[in-house]
Structure 1
Amino acid sequence: MNNTLLTGIELSYLVAAALFIVGLKKLGSPATARQGNVIAAVGMLIAIVATLIDQSIVSYELIIVGIVIGSLIGAVTAQKVAMTEMPQMVGIFNGVGGAASALVAVGEYWRLLDKGTNIGFDAVLIAILGILIGGVTFTGSILAFAKLQGLVSGSPVTFPFQQPFNASLLLAFLAGSVYLFIHPTSPEILLALVAISLVFGVMFVLPIGGGDMPVVISLLNSFSGVAASVVGFILYNNMLIIAGALVGASGLILTQIMCKAMNRSLTSVLFTAFGGETSGTGNGATATDKTVHAIDAEESAMMLGYARNVVIVPGYGMAVAQAQHTIRELAEQLEKMGVEVRYAIHPVAGRMPGHMNVLLAEANVPYNQLYDMDDINPEFERTDVALVIGANDVVNPAARHDNTSPIYGMPILEVDKAHHTIVIKRSMKSGFAGIENELFYDDKTFMLFGSAQDVVANLVSQVKQLQ
């Protein structure tokens, strides 16, 4: 390849990297997220075209076949996957990225073996890291998908001697790695390391409960980026190194944000099996000790329609019922009556970071009505009605004062400070944390039972009659 063409490829990579960074910046706001996605996609297109120019990689025929198959799968999936299943889809994407990185690491190592090339320390190290991170990301993401999809229990799964077993896996991987450094032409050891990394990925996610899934999703996303970056070194591809590093860093930052929103450290998320099914409120009280104030749609509509301001708090129950479009319609009807409507978004509401933002954006809810937790909490004391739709743990006041509660110290949306609170839920069943929500028994709280889709549709009808 002549120097001019090589320079053109490197400049294309530089432009693509700049577009990635700009795209990530714009993804930080709901108002510019779509534009950021397009910009990053253009950057990826430039990077792919520049890479395809290097014919030493693989034949164009195989590349075209791969693009066609992948595009068909992606297009069909995008059409069929519901918005409620977006966390599962993200989990699968993370897994596919990890698997691709691990396969490239193994394939490149095997190519060096077949060529009889002297495999140096750096090549062995990069291959081992690619296998470890990629393998863990693949099986960990598949298990996360299974938990979110309900194929596997969402509660933490533990068994006797689990930690010693995990430690033995890690020691076995380290021992195999050392042996491979000494005897780099040992493909059977390489395959053994692949098997260990796959098992370790399962063991990594198995003890993590459903309540911690937003953290796990973002962490595995970071892993997939790091794996891609590592593989970039073995392929001597600067674009892959940069893109992987950006994904890895952004995923890690998001993981830290999620942990902060839950007031938990990453180590406690990974090793304390939080999120199992428990009973009680965390302080020994039971549901039978308190009274629930039920309300019907007509009374709720009157409270909402004659309020000055309403704050809507969406949760996973809204996602399950696919009620985001009906909620937007309710907000529009309330605004026609002069009610100020805002939405309060908790960072870990739902099953992945930004889950509620994605759903509300899909329903064309105005971006300026979405408020982060820190911005909306001071406003609840001046709010006439807080309408909680399918949220649970993120509005539980026990997080503020009950030091025996598993969620103690977690920042919450302080809806209990509103003048009145209406909670739409199917039942009194606990959330991911597995504890009773004391908000439901508050004197200012009214429970409106039923599917969010049906209940909100009824509210829309009742509010229209008030106009």
Structure 2
Amino acid sequence: MSDLSNMIAANADWFYLVGAILFVLTLRGLSSPKTAIRGNRFGMVAMAIAVVTTFFLAEGPVLWLIIGAMVLGAIVGMWKAKTVAMTQMPETVALMHSFVGLAAVAIALATVLHTEQQHGAVARVELFIGCFIGAITFSASVFAFGKLAAKSWAKTLVGGWVKPVQALLFIAMIAFGAVYFVTNSLPAFYAMAVIAVIFGWMWIAPIGGGDMPVVVSLLNSFSGWAAAGIGFTLGNSMLIIAGSLVGSSGAILSYIMCKAMNRSLLNVLFGGMGTSAVSAGSDDGAPKNYKAGSAEDAGFLMANASSVVIVPGYGMAQGRAQNAVKELYELLKEEGVNVRFAIHPVAGRMPGHMNVLLAEADVPYDDILEMDEINSDFASTDVVLVIGANDVVNPSAKDDPTSPIFGMPILEVTKAQTIMVIKRSMSTGYAGLDNSLFYMDKTMMIFGDAKKMVEEMVRSINGAGH
């Protein structure tokens, strides 16, 4: 066993290099649903190499504590992976980000308290940055979890006092960090960590629900930078590389999502959207008229169409309707209907939410198209079926300069011949905005649970002899 340990320790850099290459291949694989499984396998192997190598490099490891933590973490992880519902995936991801941030803070504190080690200027900067990024990631991710899970304690903060308080907290955090850097003062380091936790909460709390997908993506980036900070603290090159990959990829994804919303990242983080709701049908106080139809009507229209585009939204996730949608898709395909799916980059509650749901139902990847690929086809589409989506198909983004989402690219479903929308009610979407699409003459509202309504559409088509 000692020979194995010596061999691994002597070749640690080579093992870490192999792990780093596998992590790069992981990201490459995750760039497409077709290669995502392979990418995940690369990541699993890379993480196993990193853990085993680091384990043999440790000086005097406490085996029972390390192995116990790994076994407990594996049990909890496998249990959550098997039991978490797809509707709960966004808040689960946010909660996992919080653990990475907490780990960064814990390691930074443990390193600072290691009295036998003298921390130079560079080390103090690393500890300061790693700790405050980790602390912000921790509290911000906890709030994002609460917001996505609709917890009562995750209240959106509004008012003119919020931004001054944010500024004061940020300045205080930097000031205490500077004091620690100059004097090596432990109380200053503790104060900086506590203020960073409070700042993380205060920073995310004012952001409205409409921007939460971008926040989740950004926190993913932060968790990566926090991990990289841990790597610098521990002198672990593998952790630095893996954290940097996660941090940079999360930042790129955040940029892509902001571009899809036609907004800057600073505007999302410090401007806020969706913090004030607009009641459905109450723009000028006058009631609006809309047409309501049945699932049978929808089934008849789709079965007799030549082209159908399905636009999934959070309502599909909430109703767990993806398998019923797959059945509808297959049935229409059998009837010779050209059926495709249109995905907006910020549909759902997290990046790629709709893609994951459709992949879970084994919908062919070739028929799942992104916004830029499908928008030009709506004008020649007979029927569009919108399932629980609101903000990503809201015409106000193109037509109303006073709308908070004006300028945001949307799925241009209004160009289709007929539009059908499945919703539970006429309530607003996650951004709290009314949608003029629902009141158009060629729009038919179908009220009810997404899964139940789609199943009724399938029965209607089958019963009609199609």
- When the two structures are superposed, what TM-score results if normalisation uses the length of structure 1? 0.95
Change (3 A) 1:282 1:267: farther
Distance 1:339 1:214, change over 3 A: same
CA contact (8 A) 1:296 1:448 kept: yes
Matches within 5 A, 1:367-382: 367-382=365-380
Quick check: 1:155–1:276 contact (8 Å CA) kept in 2?
Answer: no
132-141 or 23-32, which deviates more:
23-32
Matched, 1:54 2:52: no
8 A Cα contact 2:9 2:56, kept in partner: no
- After superposing the two structures, state which structure 1 stretch, 37-46 or 384-393, moved more: 37-46
Q: Give the letter for the 2:224 counterpart.
A: G
Is it true that 1:308 corresponds to 2:306 in the alignment? yes
Matched, 1:206 2:205: yes
Instruction: Please state if 1:410 is matched with 2:408.
Output: yes
- What does 1:321-336 correspond to in 2, within 5 Å? 321-336=319-334
1:18 correspondence with 2:16: no
Residue 96 of structure 2 corresponds to residue 93 of structure 1: yes
Q: 1:257: Cα distance to partner?
A: 0.7
- The correspondence of residues 24-423 of structure 1 with structure 2, limited to 5 A, is 24-56=27-59, 58-111=61-114, 114-115=115-116, 117-152=117-152, 156-184=156-184, 186-279=185-278, 284-285=283-284, 288=287, 290-423=288-421
Structure 1: stretches of 5+ with no match in the other structure = none
Shift of 1:148: 0.6
Q: Tell me the distance in 2 between the aligned counterparts of 1:48 and 1:31.
A: 28
Rounded Cα–Cα distance in structure 2 between residues aligned with 1:292 and 1:248: 46
**The 10-residue stretch of structure 1 (363-372 or 279-288) with the greater mean CA deviation from structure 2:** 279-288
Q: How far apart in 2 are the matches of 1:172 and 1:21? A: 38
Identity of aligned residues (%): 47
Report which stretch shifted further, 437-446 or 166-175: 166-175
Matches of 1:369 and 1:285 in 2, distance apart?
A: 40
Q: Provide closer, same or farther for how the CA distance between residues 154 and 173 of structure 1 changes in structure 2, counting only shifts above 3 A.
A: closer
Find the residue that maps to 1:407 and give its secondary structure: coil
Q: Is the 8 A contact 2:228 2:242 kept in 1?
A: yes
| Partner SS for 2:341 | strand
C-alpha distance in structure 2 between counterparts of 1:430 and 1:209, whole Å: 14
Q: Residue 125 of structure 2 aligns to which amino acid in structure 1? A: L
One-letter code of the match for 1:166? Q
Shift in Å, 1:340: 1.3
Native 8 Å contact 2:9 2:53 kept in 1: no
Amino acid in structure 2 at the alignment position of 1:32? T
Q: Which amino acid aligns with 2:386?
A: V
State the Cα distance separating 1:152 from its structure 2 match: 3.6
Give me the whole-angstrom Cα distance separating, in 2, the residues matched to 1:178 and 1:235. 22
- Tell whether the 8 Å contact from 2:307 to 2:339 is kept in structure 1 after alignment: yes
Report the Cα offset of residue 178 of structure 1. 1.8
Q: CA deviation at 1:39?
A: 1.0
Q: Unaligned regions of 5+ residues in structure 2, if any?
A: none
Rounded to whole Å, the distance in 1 between the matches of 2:279 and 2:436 is 10
- Opposite residue 378 of structure 1, the aligned amino acid is S
- Relative distance call for 1:196 and 1:254 in structure 2 (3 A) is same
* Partner Cα separation in structure 2 for residue 57 and residue 256 of structure 1: 43
Q: 1:195 to 1:86 in 2, by over 3 A?
A: same
Equivalent position SS for 1:208: coil
Alpha-carbon offset, residue 61 of structure 1: 2.2
Deviations 1:80-125 (A, max 9, x none): 21000000010011100111111111111211xx21x332111111
- Residue by residue over 1:272-314, the C-alpha shift from the partner in whole angstroms, topping out at 9 and shown as x without a partner, is 23112332689944561x3201111221111000111111000
Secondary structure at the counterpart of residue 349 of structure 1: coil
- Greater shift in the superposed pair: 167-176 or 363-372: 167-176
Contact 1:281 1:405 survives alignment (8 Å) = no
How far has the Cα of 1:173 moved from its partner?
1.5
Q: Which amino acid aligns with 1:406?
A: P
The question of whether the paired residues in 1 share the 8 Å contact of 2:211 and 2:272 is answered with no
Root-mean-square deviation over aligned CA pairs? 1.8
- Mapped to 1, the partners of 2:8 and 2:389 lie a distance apart of 55
Aligned-pair distance for 1:417?
Answer: 0.5
Call closer, same or farther: CA 1:154–1:324 in 2, change over 3 Å. Answer: farther
Preserved CA contact (<8 Å) 1:219 1:251: yes
Higher alpha-carbon deviation: 271-280 or 368-377: 271-280
Aligned residue for 2:308, secondary structure, equals: strand
Q: How many angstroms does 1:159 deviate by? A: 3.6
Whole-angstrom distance in 2 between the partners of 1:409 and 1:155? 28
Q: Which amino acid counterpart does residue 433 of structure 1 have in structure 2?
A: A
Q: Secondary structure at the match of 1:31?
A: helix
> Quick one: structure 1 residues 287 and 450, their matched pair in 2 at CA, closer, same or farther if it must change by over 3 Å?
farther
C-alpha separation between the residues in 1 aligned to 2:306 and 2:10?
Answer: 63
Q: What SS does the aligned partner of 1:32 have?
A: helix
Q: Return the alpha-carbon distance in structure 2 between the equivalents of residues 155 and 264 of structure 1.
A: 24
Distance 1:396 1:225, change over 3 A: same
